[in-house]
Amino acid sequence: MTTEKKGCLAFAVCGSFCTLEDALGAAQALTAQGWTLLPVMSFAAQQDTRFGTGESWRQRLQAVTGQPVLDTLQAVEPLGPRRLAQALVVAPCTGATLARLAAGLSDTPVTLAAKSLLRVGSPVVLAVSTNDGLGASGENMARLCQRKHYYFVPYGQDDPFAKPQSLKADLALLPAAVDAALRGEQLQPVLLGQRNAKSQE
C-alpha cells in the first residue's frame, strides 16, 4: 500500500537532548503519514553530550528524513520565500529557542527558519520541552500564543514532583497539531492531568 504524499515540512530539532529520541519518533510518524521532511538542526543540537554526539544525531535525523540536514543560516533562509515547506515544526523547542522567538531574534538556523516561514504566512508549530515552562519560559510561551501563525503541540507537566516547573509536549499529538495548524486552528494546548492523545480525538 502506498502512502499518499501530503507535502513538505521543515522539521527542526533544538538542544533538549533528553527529548531527541522522542523527536525522531515523531519525525518517523510524520513521514509514515506521507510528509516529506526537511531537517534543521540548531547550533546547540549539534553539540556532543552524554546523550550522544552531534554527528550521530545528525546521521539519524538524515536517515529518518532522507534529506541532508540544514544547519546554517544560509541554508534555511530560502525555506519560506521559495515555498520549500508548508510549515515549520520545532520538536523539541527549548526555553532558549522560545526566548529567541519571543524576542524576534533570528540568529540560529531554527529561529531563522521560523522567520523565513512566518514572512510568507506559513505556520510554525512548537513542541515545547523546557525545565522552566512554569517559570521564565511561561511568559515567552504566552507571548507566542498571541502571535499569528504560531501553534503549540499540546503540553503538560512531565514530572510534577521531581521537576515542578517543567513542561513537555505530547509528541504523539504532533501530527494532529500540524494538520490543525495548516487549517489555522490550535488544538487545546494545555493537557490536564493524565490526558493523552485519545482525549484529543
Instruction: Report the CATH number at residue 132.
Output: 3.40.50.1950
Q: How far is 124 from 49, CA to CA, in rounded Å? A: 27
* Whole-number Å distance between alpha carbons of 19 and 12: 13
Q: Give me the pLDDT at residue 193, please.
A: 59
Range of the domain at 68: 7-183
How far is the C-alpha of 72 from the C-alpha of 75, rounded, in Å? 5
- Whether residue 77 is contained in a domain is answered as yes
Please give the single-letter amino acid code of residue 48.
D
One-character DSSP codes across 75-102 = HHGGGTTTT--SEEEEEEE-HHHHHHHH
pTM exceeds 0.85 for this model: yes
Which DSSP state fits 5? P
Does an H or E element contain 144, and which? Answer: helix 136-145
Does residue 112 fall inside a structural domain?
A: yes
Q: Residue 194 has what pLDDT?
A: 47
Assess if residue 197 is contained within a domain: no
Assigned domain for 196 exists: no
CB 150 within 8 A of CB 189: no
Computed on alpha carbons and rounded to an integer, the radius of gyration of the chain in Å comes to: 15
The answer as to whether 54 is a domain residue is yes
- Please state the domain count of the chain: 1
Q: Flag whether 45 is in a domain.
A: yes
- Cell 488544538 -> residue: 187
pLDDT (tens, 9 = 90+) of the chain, 201 residues, equals 446 889 999 999 998 788 899 999 999 999 999 999 999 999 998 888 888 888 999 999 999 999 999 999 999 999 999 999 999 999 999 999 999 999 999 999 999 999 999 999 999 999 999 888 888 899 999 999 999 999 999 999 888 788 888 899 999 999 999 999 999 999 998 886 544 444 444
Task: Confirm whether 143 is domain-assigned.
Answer: yes
Buried b / exposed e over 41-80, threshold 16 CB at 10 Å, is: bbebbbeeeeeeebeebbebbeebbeeebbbeeebbbebb
| pLDDT on residue 201 | 43
pLDDT of residue 113: 98
Decide if 110 is inside a domain: yes
CA dihedral 71, 31, 151, 167 (to 10 degrees): -80
